[in-house]
Amino acid sequence: MKFFKSIAYAGRGLKEAVGGQRNLKIQLMVALTAVCLGLYFHIDRLEWGLLLGCCAWVISLELVNTSIEYLTDLVTKEKNPLAGKVKDIAAAAVLFSAVLSGIIGLLIFAKYIF
């Protein structure tokens, strides 16, 4: 029963994040587009692994970034340079993963498009 409760909590967290985070919505749409392109071009198993891994990497980091932002806001409502650094570094992790995932996506789909 604890297992099902933990799944329900995770689902609630995902719903909260998707409902409140514009960037997460964009990332989910990009992931859905990439999956649709993968289906259209019949990419191979290795490419599917890379594609889905990149999607999971970016979305997971965005969820962690969101939780870090919420936790930072919970700890302090005041302008704090250290809190700003925490948020900026978490956002940088998402940006880094998104850029590299974009490059990997280009490498996967380039042979089908060009």
Which amino acid, 61?
A: L
Domain containing 107 — which CATH number?
1.10.287.3610
CA distances from 101 to 31, 37, 43, 50 (A): 10, 15, 16, 9
Residue 113: predicted pLDDT: 87
| Domains of the chain: total | 1
Q: Which domain holds residue 6?
A: 2-113
In the predicted model, residues of the chain with pLDDT beneath 50 are: none
Residue 87: predicted pLDDT: 96
Catalytic residues, by residue number, are 62
Give the angle 53-15-12 at the CA atoms, nearest 5°.
Answer: 105
Residue 34: predicted pLDDT: 97
Residue 114: predicted pLDDT: 84
